[in-house]
Amino acid sequence: MAKNFVSNKDETVRMFKSDFMEIFSRVHYTVPLIIYLPIILVLLYFSIMVYSLSILSIIGLLMGGIFAWSLAEYLLHRFIFHYDAKTEFGKKIHFIFHGVHHDYPSDSMRLVMPPSVSIPLAVIFYFLFRFLLGESYMQPFFAGFILGYLFYDISHYAIHHFNMHSKFWLQIKNHHMLHHYQDQFNGYGVSSPFWDVIFKTTFGKKKK
Taking all residues of the chain, what is their mean pLDDT, rounded to a whole number? 88
Give the amino acid at 90. G
Return the pLDDT at 194.
94
21's torsion region: left (phi>0), alpha (psi -120 to 50) or beta? alpha
CB atoms closer than 10 angstroms to residue 53: 20
What are the pLDDT digits (tens) for 84-111?
A: 878 887 777 777 778 788 888 878 888 8
What are the pLDDT digits (tens) for 122-150?
A: 999 999 999 999 999 999 999 999 999 99
User: Is the per-residue pLDDT at 6 higher than 70?
Assistant: no
Distance (Å, rounded) from C-alpha 123 to C-alpha 102? 27
Do 44 and 65 touch, CB atoms closer than 8 A?
no
What are the pLDDT digits (tens) for 192-205?
A: 999 999 999 998 76
Do 39 and 118 touch, CB atoms closer than 8 A?
no
Do 98 and 12 touch, CB atoms closer than 8 A?
no
Do 46 and 144 touch, CB atoms closer than 8 A?
no
SS3 189: coil
pTM of the predicted structure, to 2 decimals:
0.90
Nearest in space to 139 (alpha carbons), one of 42, 207, 205: 42
Nearest in space to 12 (alpha carbons), one of 100, 135, 71: 100
Higher pLDDT, 137 or 113: 137
What are the pLDDT digits (tens) for 9-34?
A: 666 777 877 877 888 788 899 999 99
Nearest in space to 127 (alpha carbons), one of 148, 145, 100, 149: 145
Return the pLDDT at 3.
44
What are the pLDDT digits (tens) for 48-76?
A: 999 999 999 999 999 999 999 999 999 99
Distance (Å, rounded) from C-alpha 90 to C-alpha 67? 31
